[in-house]
Structure 1
């Protein structure tokens, strides 16, 4: 058997993506740490329905079996072995794709754009998933904005300990078009 290099995160993502997709999940990140006798592979998965521990355990087992089978065929080489960790992304992970915004609807987000930071509540995406509704309380008024995702704002979910205000949640639960109509009606 010829000697193969330890697999890259790109190689592993290409390998596991179909398996992960069969569980209605997305690969959000893979980190490969080569460390002497025991290397580690950490895989972050998420879905529109946040995966619970039972599902992560099932997917972890299936990924492990897939890695073992490809290693037996000589397609992959993990060297002396590896530990596998399958988890969900932390809340401090920036929202970079439309699905990240969709999955955090109703939550607070800190948006940094043009060196300015502001905190908003995430609403609906438009049909093309190109724009997202943002809701904010300014004084006594609620403000509804449309953020263009292509402008690549830096955005990170804010941890919130209090119950979200009902009036804001009503707006974030509206469709994109309904929220834009609300904004027109209240301008």
Structure 2
């Protein structure tokens, strides 16, 4: 039996992940000589803590070892398990990624052009997200006004290329006021202020 592939590994670890309501964001196997590294990236709406990850890592290790003992998997000379959260460099490819990063800056690439936006509310049907322009005004740390044209709806069906940006300055309060609104409130605000 060969080393389990990503789908098999995902199925093997699901008893440790699913009851917690967590998502398996990535599973990667890297061959490292005779041994392999199995890297598992987990996330949830209520971000797992380091303590949570330590507990689930032990459970995953036990599940993988049990699968090998039963003959359901073969890890060859062994493996090293790494369990972590995805980090900020995970592209936002699913509605849950947008929801979990609400209020944060995102670099959005459309038609070869990169722009910065602040993430607002996700539509109830997960089809779109509210964005507030974050790079139209070079303001440093001071607060700036938000105009209706600075607020838009991004259809997630367009498969946008988006990655969270690390932010060192305090977020402008006027942008956060819009991102704190529900999806409907933000679209209504934009219409009322045109």
Q: How does 1:156-171 map to 2 (within 5 A)?
A: 156-171=163-178
**Runs of 4+ in structure 1 displaced over 2 angstroms?**
34-37, 137-142
Q: CA deviation at 1:19?
A: 2.4
Q: CA deviation at 1:65?
A: 0.5
Q: Which runs of 5+ in 1 are unaligned?
A: none
State the distance in 1 between where 2:33 and 2:117 align: 45
Partner of 2:114: 117
1:145 aligns with 2:147: no
Q: Which runs of 5+ in 2 are unaligned?
A: 138-144
Residue correspondences, number? 184
Q: How does 1:1-187 map to 2 (within 5 A)?
A: 4-137=1-134, 138-139=136-137, 140-142=145-147, 143-187=150-194
State the distance in 1 between where 2:146 and 2:78 align: 58
What is the TM-score with the length of structure 2 in the denominator?
A: 0.91
Q: CA RMSD in A?
A: 1.2
State the distance in 1 between where 2:12 and 2:189 align: 45
What is the TM-score with the length of structure 1 in the denominator?
A: 0.94
Q: CA deviation at 1:9?
A: 1.2
8 Å CA contact 1:112, 1:118 repeated in 2? yes
State the distance in 2 between where 1:132 and 1:17 align: 29
8 Å CA contact 2:23, 2:42 repeated in 1? yes
